[in-house]
Structure 1
Amino acid sequence: SEYGNEALPFVGYRDESEYGIEAGQATLQLLNGTQATPLCFNARVGVLDFIGQRCAAYYATVSSQPIVPEEGRSCSADSTPLELMDIILGSGANAVWSHVDCCAAMGEAVEMARQAGFSIVSGCQDFDEGGAQGVDFVTAQPIDLQGYHASTWSNFPVVQEMAGMDGKMSQYFPASASLINTAIYNSFLTEN
């Protein structure tokens, strides 16, 4: 592609540990001086090591104490809010960061815990299009910390403009409708 040497438009982070560090720093800001007791949910334990790297970097950033297991607590798309709330409250966590597969259930779990009087900062590792936590990129976030990963999403209006098109989809930015999967992005540039 003639665009191959240009910087890709992206929202998020290019390095897994940097991603965890940034999430941890944002969490510390949101906690505003309160000591963090973190919990990271990982839906790919033993499958995708880089999700564990995110959790390990997050833990190292928000806590001076080693957290075990450092790759995070296991969850899945089938995890229920009640199950996750039990894990959150059982660990005494006041800062929760979740893999996208568990994000909707985690968001509901945190909301239930908040209604019961617990103060918890929550966040998602990637955009979640379904469930209770479907959110826009910048606006109206029902959770405290929302992440996008560089290897997954590109901004569609920028892609259109790079390909010499009118970029009229920009009216959707910063909503989720302006983000496309990188595989689609690569196909788009190849065909145009």
Structure 2
Amino acid sequence: MKIFIPFLLAIFIITGCQKKEHEEHTKTQQAKQESVQKPKPKPLRSTFTLRDTNSTIALKIKNNAIKIPNSKKVVALLFFTTWCPSCKAEIPELEAAAKKFKNMQIIGILLDHTNDIDKFKKDEKIDFFVSTNIKENQELAKRLYPMVQAPATMPIPLTIIFVDGKYFVHYLGAAPYEMIVADMQRVEGE
């Protein structure tokens, strides 16, 4: 009987070790299969060409910062549509702030198709660049919306303000003039 107990214990230990080795081998095989099956994510796009009716703007994104040749110190990207009442309300607020702060540049990023952007710009008294390349604009939105943790449903209007190319603040929904001015005063250190 004394020999039987150590013999039984030895069998349990050996069997237990083999089971553990088998589980580890199975996990390793599963990990290898998953790594082979998962497609590698596409690298994030970093260069965009924005077009309005008269000109183009090259925009580059790197590490949550943007680079636009010959841009002003402050760049406000306004993502909007022509049918959105809040977007229409945001436009004069931004324009008034840009008139007060000469170092501010507004770039409109149109997210819907419109037959007559010139008429819309005239009706809304828009005096800033509006990119009308919808496919490119939507790609830019897909790239920047996650940066500000905006929902994938792309709520509008969204205004993202960059200072010297670096993210500064964003407004999801129409922002009042006073809020924009307060943020611009922070930029200027007033």
Q: Which has a greater percent of strand?
A: 2
Q: Structure 1 length as normaliser, TM-score?
A: 0.26
